[in-house]
Amino acid sequence: MTEEEDFWAEAGEAALRLGEAGEANHDPGFAQARREWEVLLAPLLEEVAEVAPPPLVWARLQAATRPARAQHVLLRGHRWAGLAFLAAAAILVFSLLGPAPSQSTVIASQEGDFAVTLELRTLTLTPEKVRLPAGKSAELWLILPGEKPRGLGLLAVGQNFTTQIPVPQNTPMVLAISLEPPGGSPTGLPTGPVIGEAKLTPS
Amino acid sequence: MDHDAARTGAALARAELAACLARVAARDPQALAELYQRMSAKLFGICLRILGERAAAEDVLQEVFLAVWNKADRFDSARGISPVTWLAVLARNRALDRLRGQKTRRFSALDEAAEIADAALNAEALLGQAQDRERLRECLRGLDARAGNAIRDAFFGGQTYQKLAAQAGMPLATMKTLIRRALIQLKYCLGHD
């Protein structure tokens, strides 16, 4: 074996991950040779059967790549532009991927807007310029077909609200926000005016 | 003529995918959705083949797309490597890293693309991918059968020389020599020396 052959054999071993445990060869030429092997052998990867990943992966990827502030910026002072954007985005995702595991909408109200996203069963509400009447709190309700409203919790005007919702697939649900006394509804059902609502169908 | 048409079609698809990769690296969510739709099944197949376990394969698949999004790995079309090959190699490497329990590879990922040997990649650019595949297959067939099988096995990970030697029922040193010789033969056969 020539020295050059030896070098290529070693780089090939590294590409096959057969090198010795401490194969910490930092030489750029070696890394390059190893990389070249990886590309030369890559046609083997084309023989591997395709497998559709579960929708969960796309949902997680979307959650990981969503710019946290984009929705705020879009909604600020431009409610309809924001709604149009979200609707367009939802249609786009649906058209590209079929039933998408992630959905978004907006609960618009006189008191301000709440951007809503639903990823699998994780519901997140982001308040946008929300101002509540003095002495009132905002309570979120989940209403399923034929059922009484279920309280999901109080919404703070200054921070995101996240909860898990127990909704079966393809069941249309309504989210509603009502004004309640501080601390929430005393009866377990909405007692004040409903200031906004939105309909979602978890996929 | 058909061959030319197929080639033009392939070149177009390749250019489209390369443009899509660039848009993903520029943080275009629409491009990410497009890339995911086109490539996720292929890449998930690779992750699953290497890791043999869905949960880990799902994690690595997400990691691969995030690497493109975060520019941790960059595709450079000027280097002549096809975007499909680039993504497949990226997925294989990440899956093998996971298999070994390494969080990330030791190389500087940002500069990795720049380290690729231009000679090899230009050669690859000249060849159609189908031709690459056929050529590799032929070259692998030309090897000692035990070595060829061992290389295929090792390529999908989780192998050591000890395991390969045990599977083939031969002494460790013999297996090492066999593989190293086969790699050199393969290199000559593939035409890069």
pLDDT band per the 50, 70, 90 thresholds, residue B104? very low
Across B1-26, average pLDDT: 78
Mean pLDDT of all residues belonging to chain A:
80
B60: Cα separation from own chain's centroid: 15
* Nearest CB neighbour to A53, from listed B27, B58, B183: B58
Residue B164 with chain A: CB contacts under 8 Å = 18
Residue B98 predicted with pLDDT over 70: yes
DSSP tag of B165: H
pLDDT band per the 50, 70, 90 thresholds, residue A90? low
Residue A11 predicted with pLDDT over 90: yes
pLDDT band per the 50, 70, 90 thresholds, residue A148? confident
C-alpha count within 13 angstroms, C-beta hemisphere, residue A139: 25
Residue B112 with chain A: CB contacts under 8 Å = 31, 35
Measure the CA–CA gap between B149 and A187, rounded to whole angstroms.
71
User: What pTM value is reported for the model?
Assistant: 0.61
Residue A67, pLDDT score:
64
Report whether B99 contacts B51 (CB < 8 A). Answer: yes
Residue B69, pLDDT score:
92
Cβ within 8 Å, pair B61-A92: no
Across B114-128, average pLDDT: 40
Higher pLDDT, A182 or A98: A182
Q: Which range is most confident: A98-102, A107-111, A188-192?
A: A188-192
pLDDT band per the 50, 70, 90 thresholds, residue A127? confident
Residue A6, pLDDT score:
92
Concatenated DSSP letters for chain A? --HHHHHHHHHHHHHTT-S-TT-----HHHHHHHHHHHHHHGGGGGGSPP-PPPHHHHHHHHHHHS-TTHHHHHHTT-HHHHHHHHHHHHHHHHHHHSS-SEEEEEEEETTEEEEEEEETTEEEEEEES--PPTT-EEEEEEE-TTS--EEEEEEPTTS-EEEE----TT--EEEEEEEESTTS-SSSS--S-EEEEEEE---
Q: What's the Rg (C-alpha) of chain B?
A: 18
The sign of the CA dihedral A49, B118, A13, A6 is positive
Residue A43, pLDDT score:
93
Interval A17-55: pLDDT, tens:
997 644 556 688 888 899 999 999 999 999 899 999 988
Exposure string of A4-16, with b = 16+ CB inside 10 Å and e = fewer, is ebeebbbbbbbbb
Q: Which range is most confident: A99-108, A175-184, B115-124?
A: A175-184
Measure the CA–CA gap between A60 and B69, rounded to whole angstroms.
14
Residue B78 predicted with pLDDT over 70: no
Cβ within 8 Å, pair A8-B137: no
Across B138-164, average pLDDT: 91
Residue A69 predicted with pLDDT over 50: no
Interval B154-185: pLDDT, tens:
999 888 999 999 988 999 999 999 999 999 99
Cβ within 8 Å, pair A43-B41: no
The residue type found at B131 is: Q
Residue A148's CB is within 10 A of a number of other CB atoms, namely 10
Measure the CA–CA gap between B72 and B108, rounded to whole angstroms.
9
Q: What's the Rg (C-alpha) of chain A?
A: 26
Residue from A174, A184, A183, A179 nearest A195 by CA: A179
Across B139-144, average pLDDT: 92
pLDDT band per the 50, 70, 90 thresholds, residue A9? very high
Would you call A187 exposed, middle or buried from its count of C-beta atoms within 10 A (0-12, 13-18, 19+)? exposed
Report whether A198 contacts A141 (CB < 8 A). Answer: no
Two tokens at A57? 């992966």
Residue A36 CB contacts under 8 Å (≥ 6 apart), including other chains: A11, B116, B117, B120, B121, B192
Residue A102 with chain B: CB contacts under 8 Å = none
Residue B173, pLDDT score:
95
Residue B129 predicted with pLDDT over 90: no
Helix and strand element counts for chain B (H, E) = 10, 0
* Nearest CB neighbour to B37, from listed A41, A50, A96: A96
Residue A31, pLDDT score:
87
Measure the CA–CA gap between B193 and B183, rounded to whole angstroms.
12
